Amino acid sequence: MKRKLGRFLLVTTSLLISAQLWAEPKRPECLAPAKPGGGFDITCKLAQGGLRDAGLLKAPMRVTYMPGGIGAVAYNAVVAQRAGDSNTITAWSSGSLLNLAQGKFGRYDETAVRWLAAIGTDYGAVIVPADSPLKDFGDLVDALRKDPAGMVIGAGGTIGSQDWMQAAMIARTAGVDPQKLRYVAFEGGGEPMMALLGGHVQLITSGIGEATAQLAAGKVRILAVLADERLPGGLGNLPTAKEQGFDISWPIARGFYVGPEVSDEDYAWWKQQFDALLANDDFATMREQRDLQPLAITGEELQAYVYKQVEQYKLLAAEFGLAR
């Protein structure tokens, strides 16, 4: 009896291991739906390095950039052309969900993909050159009240994007119509920073994680972080808009989805790896080094989170006259 039980356990374990090995992608790829240097790039690099260093992915993961529509091109490509491709995970952010809420991804909505994991959260930030005459968030609000078109504001995405939404919320706080702002749209988070450093725009709104390298180099200043309270660690010296008397916050969740026809087995394999990764202390350190705060949601829980967020963004878009 013991021999039979032992054989059964051995066979069961072998089958489980074989299934896990079979499900592991041979050519893993992370799609970053923008040009290099922005938040999608950071998200993919975290998966690339984190899964490798934790021994959760044997084959090297490549990062592929697919800019266009702040995620729209990649979303449509995954649904229409890579629906069952289990090798590919694609980065998303709260900005992706905001665009979905406005119908900016074409005929596909939030139900068109399988939401895999959220691995961290960033926060919006208001960024100026180091030599800007604006010293704090109050200076910015005063300047907008006097002349809404007096400065050029750059950000990733067109009207209705999450970076534009940050600028619009600032304008509303100042009692200004957001349509009166001189807003310049860029693709992704890297281009606005280059425009700011080049003197082509006077202020940008983006995720704080996209600005920390230039902040450390002394090339930019942060007028406000759009979080409910100061961030921990090295960013704790940066003031929030709320503590300066302005009730504005903008959290930016970041994570991954896969195609709608990826098998349950392959999806479960990816979920298992991300569950393990998100419980890994070394990954927590890596995430902190990328200036992201903890956020760990996977599987069905993430799907519910995404659907709820999209509904909330529909309401917010309607407030600014952007409803689909």
Residue 294 in tokens: 């903890």
Catalogue all structural domains in the chain, each as residue range(s) with its CATH number. 25-122+253-319 (3.40.190.150), 123-251 (3.40.190.10)
Q: Per-residue pLDDT tens for 74-129?
A: 999 999 999 999 999 999 999 999 999 999 999 999 999 999 999 999 999 999 99
**Mean pLDDT value across residues 240-263:** 96
With a cut of 90, say whether residue 233 has pLDDT above it: no
**Which residue, among 71, 30, 36, has the nearest Cα to 213 in the 3D structure?**
36
* Residue 159 to residue 319: CA distance in whole angstroms: 14
Closest by alpha carbon to 320, among 171, 146, 145?
Answer: 171
pLDDT-derived band at 323, boundaries 50, 70, 90: low
Segment 45-83, tens digit of pLDDT: 999 999 999 999 999 999 999 998 878 999 999 999 999
> Residue 8's pLDDT is what?
41
CA angle 146, 152, 156 (to 5 degrees): 130
Hey, how many other C-beta atoms are within 10 angstroms of the C-beta on 25? 19
Q: What is the pTM of this model?
A: 0.84
pLDDT at 18: 43
What percent of the chain has a predicted confidence (pLDDT) above 70? 92
Q: Compute φ and ψ for 169, nearest 5 degrees.
A: -70, -35
Q: How far is CA 271 from the centre of its chain?
A: 18
Least trusted range by pLDDT, from 16-30, 95-109, 232-246, 295-309:
16-30
Q: Which helix (H) or strand (E) holds 264?
A: helix 264-278
pLDDT given at position 272: 98
